[in-house]
């Protein structure tokens, strides 16, 4: 039998700061850019009851781990449940099984922060956040660790939600954090724009995006939905988490391609190629850059590996047994 460390979600809470997640995810993308392997998600949907079962995997040799998420969202339970098996990238042995719920907004936020660090101007001071849910909050928590913002503006369609978000972060950050009444007001003269919504149509008008802005769009992985206008994609240096995913479910990019505004060559680089130094990121101060994040096994495995190592150091979790195939198949 193989001893596997089972880690509950509440045991993982508090093991790492947003900055720790950013460091771990940066290492993950560097590993992927050098010699790692990752594939876009497999997404299965059902209409009645409505929901999806999805998952994605990565092998990160420099990190030392491999594995990824499998999760179900919606259906009759109307909730989401994350299972995260983690394996040793050298031996192939299963090391841990994580309840990945609590780490989800942190590892996703860290991915956006790594992209901001690579693509936004170093002097970025004004940040706009479109959205007010857990993912939007996770993005801001991580992103403020890589840039010193003086001003942060929050917009979501529900006034109470954006006000609560702004109040919570105004106390937390050195920046002046305020809720505004429109997306245009949030985005005006912003150096960094974060979209974290479930919208089907663009939430940011291209005319409101200033030259030199960086956009992290992370709310959609559906070819029929988009947070950004096609002309924003066309004018931007476009960087997805995975090149293959851009052609699978990056709705904003696919809409721009279908409109004839971009072709396959418009993908500037994957994020991992930039982090690993294989491709340049921003080349001109006036460029608009877009990072299109749909979720991958890269940040998932990188964050899980960090949490696994810290949990072992602190003696957390309990051991469960898995039967290796050599025993299960032979009955020995």
State residue 198's pLDDT score.
86
The pLDDT value given to residue 331? 56
In a domain, 257, yes or no: yes
The CA-based dihedral angle spanning residues 283, 288, 294, 298, taken in that order and rounded to the nearest 10 degrees: 20
pLDDT at 219 (0 to 100): 66
Identify the pLDDT of residue 143.
97
| pLDDT for the residue numbered 1 | 85
Predicted confidence at residue 63, as pLDDT, reads 98
Specify the DSSP class assigned to residue 231: H
Q: What is the mean pLDDT of residues 126-140?
A: 95
Same domain, 91 and 137: no
Does 34 score more than 90 pLDDT? yes
Check whether residue 66 and residue 130 sit in a common domain.
no
Considering the domain architecture, whether residues 233 and 285 belong to the same structural domain is answered as yes
Confidence of residue 323 (pLDDT cuts 50, 70, 90): confident
160 in the same domain as 70: no
Which pLDDT score, from 0 to 100, does residue 69 have?
93
Same domain for 37 and 172: no
280 inside domain: yes
In a shared domain, residues 248 and 277: yes
Is residue 37 located within the same domain as residue 159? Answer: no
Are 161 and 268 contained in the same domain?
A: yes
Q: Residue 214 domain-assigned?
A: yes
Residue 220 has pLDDT above 80, yes or no: no
**Residue 139 lies inside a defined structural domain of this protein:** yes
List the alpha helices (DSSP H) in the chain: 9-12, 18-34, 104-119, 134-143, 159-172, 183-187, 230-235, 243-248, 251-258, 271-275, 297-313, 325-328
Percent of the chain predicted with pLDDT > 90: 90
> Quick one: pLDDT band at residue 324, thresholds 50, 70, 90?
confident
Q: What is the mean pLDDT of the chain?
A: 94
Tell me how far apart the alpha carbons of residues 213 and 286 are, in angstroms, rounded to a whole number: 8
Element holding 194 (H helix, E strand): strand 192-195
64: region left, alpha or beta (phi > 0 left; psi from -120 to 50 alpha): left
Range of the domain at 96: 2-104+297-328
Q: Are residues 46 and 188 in the same domain?
A: no
CB-count burial class (<10 Å; 0-12, 13-18, 19+) for 288: buried
Higher pLDDT, 329 or 94: 94
Task: Give 326's pLDDT tier (boundaries 50, 70, 90).
Answer: confident
- Domain-located, residue 114: no
**Sign, CA torsion 309/314/317/321:** positive
Reported as a pLDDT band with limits 50, 70 and 90, residue 332 is: low
pLDDT (0 to 100) of residue 221: 77
Please check whether residues 137 and 273 belong to one and the same domain.
Answer: yes
Q: Is residue 116 part of a domain?
A: no
Residues 274 and 303 both lie in one domain = no
pLDDT at 199: 87
pLDDT tens by residue, 105-123: 999 999 999 999 999 999 9
Number of structural domains (the chain) is 2
Does any domain span residue 111?
no
Under 8 Å between Cβ of 299 and 107: yes
Asked if residue 230 is part of any domain, the answer here is yes
pLDDT of residue 270: 97
Same domain, 277 and 195: yes
**Cβ pair 327, 1 in contact under 8 A:** yes
Return the CATH number at 142.
3.40.50.720
The phi-psi region of residue 131 (left if phi > 0; otherwise alpha if psi is between -120 and 50; otherwise beta) is left
Which CATH number goes with the domain that contains 98? Answer: 3.30.1780.10
Virtual torsion, Cα 152, 100, 293, 119, nearest 10 deg:
60
Q: What mean pLDDT do residues 80-94 have?
A: 96
Residues 264-284 pLDDT 10s: 999 999 999 999 999 999 999
- Average pLDDT of the segment spanning 154-165: 96
pLDDT digits (tens, 9 = 90+) for 166-176: 999 998 999 99
């Amino acid at each position: 039998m193989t001893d596997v460390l089972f880690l509950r979600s509440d045991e993982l809470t508090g093991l790492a700061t947003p900055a720790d997640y950013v460091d771990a995810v940066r290492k993950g993308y560097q590993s992927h850019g050098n010699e790692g392997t990752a594939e876009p998600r497999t997404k299965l949907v059902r209409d009645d009851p409505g929901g999806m079962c999805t998952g994605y995997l990565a092998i990160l040799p420099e990190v030392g781990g491999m594995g990824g998420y499998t999760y179900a969202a919606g259906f009759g339970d109307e909730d989401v449940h994350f299972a995260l098996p983690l394996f040793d990238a050298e031996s192939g042995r299963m090391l841990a099984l994580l309840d990945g719920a609590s780490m989800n907004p942190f590892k996703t936020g860290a991915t956006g922060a790594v992209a901001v660090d690579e693509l936004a101007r170093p002097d970025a001071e004004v940040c706009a956040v479109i959205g007010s849910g857990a993912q939007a909050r996770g993005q801001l928590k991580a992103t403020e660790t890589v840039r010193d913002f003086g001003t942060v503006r929050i917009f979501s369609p529900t006034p109470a939600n954006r006000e609560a978000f702004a109040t919570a972060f105004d106390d937390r950050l050195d920046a002046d954090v305020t809720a505004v009444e429109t997306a245009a007001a949030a985005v005006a003269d912003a150096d960094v724009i974060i979209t974290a919504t479930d919208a089907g149509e663009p939430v940011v008008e291209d005319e409101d995006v200033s030259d030199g802005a960086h956009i992290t769009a992370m709310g959609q992985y559906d070819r029929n939905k988009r947070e950004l206008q096609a002309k924003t994609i066309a004018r931007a240096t476009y960087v997805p988490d995975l090149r293959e995913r851009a052609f699978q479910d990056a709705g904003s990019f696919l809409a721009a391609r279908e409109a004839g505004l971009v072709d396959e060559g418009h993908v500037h680089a994957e994020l991992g190629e930039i982090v690993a130094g294989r491709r340049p990121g921003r080349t001109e101060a006036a460029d608009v850059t877009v990072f299109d994040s749909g979720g991958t096994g890269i940040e998932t495995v990188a964050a899980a590996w960090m949490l696994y190592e810290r949990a072992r150091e602190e003696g957390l979790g309990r051991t469960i047994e898995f039967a290796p195939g050599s025993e299960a198949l032979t009955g020995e």
